[in-house]
Structure 1
């Protein structure tokens, strides 16, 4: 099936010759780790409670990224049980290429978790089943190999131990390397590099909130002793009014032309005080130069000078009409996606979802969504709920979500904010498919006051001619990290709460200033 309406979409990343817009990966793409193989760059991010896990991206220029798969795409690699809380799950991968193979080490936080190593010859997959590393007892693990072939695993603390990455066996005892700046909390996210005659240890500290920072130390050997950079922290936006905040959890990469770049996480708070970020922690890019043997990080701003080799972007995704054999890797579900819960073949041209939980409150809900990547966007779908109940949901976690739901001869809007669950609007509809629509509307830059919401979410029923019957408009701050807590961001998608629900198509469209957007994923 196809949409009756069509349009021409602009390119990604707000591209103008010589300039790009940050973030380079918008939406819930935190804790980036990057490596280069020849002229190709690969990047992985945290995925927390979502499945498939650890999205994997490819780029030729560090600016325009295309998702080529997910590292964890089958139950034999990782099981995220329903009892696992939101914002637990898969934390902070490190992606490296060594000896002809891609290596990824990551922490699973929750039941049956720990540190796990996966390998692949092709970064698009398939990736191996895990090798467990039981002797590493900390999050944010890193892998680095020295000239003698020794593999060093450094992790939050900041501690280090040699390991055999093929078996997960530790060699020797863990030892503390460096605790970062005096008094700074949460030294974490270590990455170890050999550059020239030194080994450099890059870390995050200050916590992943407004105090986030990046610091670095160096040593003559991978196990130290490390001396801190006299200019630490080499990057932080704490105590500033810059539009990008929480900058930290970084990784360095040397480009093919010898220049250096940093990928890092940050957020874009909106609204009044204290500022609410709704998209999650995103991936930003910054240039790096070297002075007196230390890296100097350039500005991290919304508009940046592009690398000289940066290519023109490819178009943004078109609406998904579910005519393909499988789902694009951008589609994610909560903790698992059992084969019996969804189908593209039961009704060809439709995505069929079968309910496992009675609402979006249920940790095992049948949900297929994508990350919200734009401050303003429009989302639409054609849903047939004659055999069940379901619709569109905007999810932060089980206790913070909005949805517009069809079934039982009506469309209703439901809001969950902490302990409060409320049906805020209803409308009777005739039998048959109905178009559901969500408009996320960010305020204009001059529309500000101290308690201004970061955005508004408008829910309605759309007619075939595009006219919309608005049922209600809800305040977006209640689906923000500053309200809900945790480490994730909004995910928008389709769900089934009862019976079997069919979706003919799903359309996600950037709006307003986001029509030429920072960091949009590319590809159909």
Structure 2
């Protein structure tokens, strides 16, 4: 690291936080990410220095805003965009397989946010742009693969009604999946910035400019952000958003993946930060295969008051949630909209109670599941389950979940009146119980330990002596190991309960949830 510089670590949002969008209001910065099938949706974070972020809520936290009950994994909420204009925050996004493109508004980024205001055109990844003349534009992705392009039209921002017909304004650089379009006006020029190449090894960020918001846009001939041509621990870079701070310094937030040597990552796509420079021709530069985007960054300065903000990142969870508060701490998420009365912090004070639903971890439905994102390759998570009144076929436990096709769980269940602790591995859509031990206990400690290559699933009856009951491959939980449908999510570690085909009769109570990293 250089002397007389400020250092920070990437990713600034570790774990499954893809498709970042960033907005500035005064000296405050706010950032949001895709959330897909998880609810509440669109986590929102606050920072004053861009490098250290604290979650302040979710944008979509009510059933009236979003209904994910029938959404398969990697459907739901795609690529939101956050904008701030004249005292109001705007979040525009797509509910894939649902209501389509819409936006919500709030004067307070921590909420509450409005119910959805629909917009009529576009496939995915819509963005808002407020021009100097008072006009407001929606720019969105349309089409698929090599036909993927950006359309744009003017709207009435009060109602979402289109004031013009959609026009194709951008076809990218000739590669597939021109996505995540953002329109900016900088020093009198309009810049159209998009991702290209698909969100994997060929991912890149490209840009064009024009004197008119509808173009035609002059394409800069090279990506302004990519690592597709070099060996580097961070890959898949792209889907960026730009922001300028009060010093006049420009920054980019974007997604990337920390691949292990074998070319996968259970963490999924994460959020990274890098400075933006402007070349002599007036183009923004981030990192076109130079390798300047690194895990450890050194910059001349960051915005904000460093002495107050350079502490450990509060977006990273480590320690114990004891469930003593009236609400789940920030960072917790449910799998789709939870069923009414399926969870409680009040039913037994100091415990998280889950009531198993008929849906299980292989099903698309309202699963009784509450979890946190895995944020490090090497971590362990543990909990204490009390599950006394179990009916036959019911179960509860601790799970490492990618989606319906890939998850590992260690659980307590009852079969023919007898209690069993078991481990189930689901890989590529095939589930198998790999081990079961009979127990005579209503209280069981569970632990999942992750390494770069494997997950280990353990239990204990006293919290001291641990039994390793099963192990599974880390690669099988990575998004790269999908079968039929691309996976856009990383691993979430969760507490769960299920009646496996019927509502459970017993209540699963969890005393705490603890994470240890490294």
Q: CA deviation at 1:308?
A: 3.8
Q: 2:206 touches 2:225 (CA, 8 Å); kept in 1? A: yes
Q: Structure 2: 5+ residue runs without aligned partners? A: 142-148
| 1:71-86 aligned within 5 A | 71-82=59-70, 84-86=71-73
2:197, 2:449 → 1: CA distance? 36
Q: CA deviation at 1:237?
A: 1.1
Deviates more, 1:40-49 or 1:299-308: 299-308
2:311, 2:254 → 1: CA distance? 21
1:426 aligns to 2:436 (yes or no): yes
1:358, 1:154 → 2: CA distance? 38
User: 1:160-198: CA deviations, max 9, x gaps?
Assistant: 1011122111111111112111x3111110111111121
Counterpart position of 2:517: 510
1:166 to 158, 167, 177: 158
1:103 to 60, 84, 90: 90
2:335, 2:168 → 1: CA distance? 36
Instruction: State the SS of the aligned residue for 1:154.
Output: strand
2:243 to 227, 249, 253: 253
| 1:108-123 aligned within 5 A | 108-111=95-98, 113-123=99-109
1:494, 1:271 → 2: CA distance? 30
Q: CA deviation at 1:319?
A: 0.7
Instruction: State the SS of the aligned residue for 1:461.
Output: strand
Counterpart position of 1:468: 466
Counterpart position of 1:175: 167
User: 1:272-327: CA deviations, max 9, x gaps?
Assistant: 2xx11211110001111111211111421111114444431246553111111011
Q: 1:106 touches 1:140 (CA, 8 Å); kept in 2? A: yes
1:441, 1:493 → 2: CA distance? 17
1:207 aligns to 2:193 (yes or no): no
1:346 aligns to 2:335 (yes or no): no
1:293 to 278, 282, 287: 282
| 1:299-378 aligned within 5 A | 299-306=292-299, 307-309=301-303, 310=306, 311-314=309-312, 316-364=317-365, 365-378=367-380
Q: CA deviation at 1:466?
A: 3.9
1:462, 1:258 → 2: CA distance? 56
User: 1:54-79: CA deviations, max 9, x gaps?
Assistant: 00000111111111000010100011
Q: CA deviation at 1:249?
A: 0.3
Q: CA deviation at 1:358?
A: 4.9
Counterpart position of 2:145: none
User: 1:122-176: CA deviations, max 9, x gaps?
Assistant: 1000000010112x12211110111111001111121110111221111111111
1:394 aligns to 2:385 (yes or no): no
2:69, 2:348 → 1: CA distance? 30
Instruction: State the SS of the aligned residue for 1:338.
Output: coil
2:178 to 184, 187, 199: 187
Q: CA deviation at 1:497?
A: 1.4
Counterpart position of 1:5: none
Instruction: State the SS of the aligned residue for 2:163.
Output: strand
1:60 aligns to 2:48 (yes or no): yes
Q: Normalising by structure 1, what TM-score?
A: 0.88
Counterpart position of 1:238: 228
**More RCO (CA 8 Å, sep 6+):** 1
User: 1:186-228: CA deviations, max 9, x gaps?
Assistant: 1110111111121111110111111100011111122222111
Instruction: State the SS of the aligned residue for 1:54.
Output: strand
Deviates more, 1:478-487 or 1:33-42: 478-487
Q: 1:386 touches 1:407 (CA, 8 Å); kept in 2? A: no
Q: Normalising by structure 2, what TM-score?
A: 0.89
Counterpart position of 1:43: 31
Instruction: State the SS of the aligned residue for 1:170.
Output: coil
User: 1:103-140: CA deviations, max 9, x gaps?
Assistant: 010011013x2111100011000000010112x12211
Counterpart position of 1:522: none
1:489, 1:478 → 2: CA distance? 12
1:176, 1:308 → 2: CA distance? 38
1:403 aligns to 2:409 (yes or no): yes
| 1:444-463 aligned within 5 A | 455-462=453-460
2:248, 2:461 → 1: CA distance? 55
Q: 2:140 touches 2:180 (CA, 8 Å); kept in 1? A: yes
1:132 aligns to 2:92 (yes or no): no
1:150 aligns to 2:135 (yes or no): yes
Counterpart position of 1:10: none
Instruction: State the SS of the aligned residue for 1:339.
Output: coil
1:269, 1:372 → 2: CA distance? 15
1:206, 1:419 → 2: CA distance? 28
1:497, 1:125 → 2: CA distance? 32
1:439 aligns to 2:452 (yes or no): no
2:272 to 260, 263, 284: 284
Size of the aligned set, in residue pairs, is: 477
